[in-house]
Amino acid sequence: MHIAVFDYQIRDIDAAGWAAACDELAPAFADVPGLLTKYWLHGEGEARGGVYVWSDRAAYVAFLQSDLGRALGSHPNIDRLTVRDYGVDEEPTRVTRGLPVTVG
């Protein structure tokens, strides 16, 4: 399993407009191969983000190289995007009740 954390600010769009855009984009993310789940984050003010849980690092890298992945970096309403990716330490995650994620 692999995790990617995206952090960004929205610009030139209000909260309602961004929420509508996310609702529209969600089905495209649901179809990404190897993406087990995505948490859509809403922070204070303009802060937004996403936590992506991937089947493996190869699926994450393939996403970054896809049209959808590349579009995130050039989206007109996304500013100051940072991305961090992590492998998952499976055993201690199980001990602390990390949820198993399945597709479908």
DSSP letter (8 states) at residue 100: P
Residue with tokens 């201690």: 92
- Mean pLDDT (the chain, rounded): 93
Tell me: the pLDDT tens digits for 47-69?
A: 999 999 999 999 999 999 999 99
How far apart are alpha carbons 100 and 69 in whole angstroms? 25
Residue 15: predicted pLDDT: 94
Query: Taking 90 as the threshold, does the pLDDT of residue 100 lie above it?
Result: no
Q: Which residue has the tokens 């529209």?
A: 24
Q: From 54, 104, 55, select the one nearest 83 (Cα to Cα).
A: 54
Instruction: State the average pLDDT over residues 10-23.
Output: 96
Q: Domain 2-94 falls in which CATH fold? A: Alpha-Beta Plaits (3.30.70)
Please give the pLDDT value at position 97: 86
Residues 6+ apart with CB under 8 A from 89: none
pLDDT tens readout for residues 73-90:
899 999 999 999 999 998
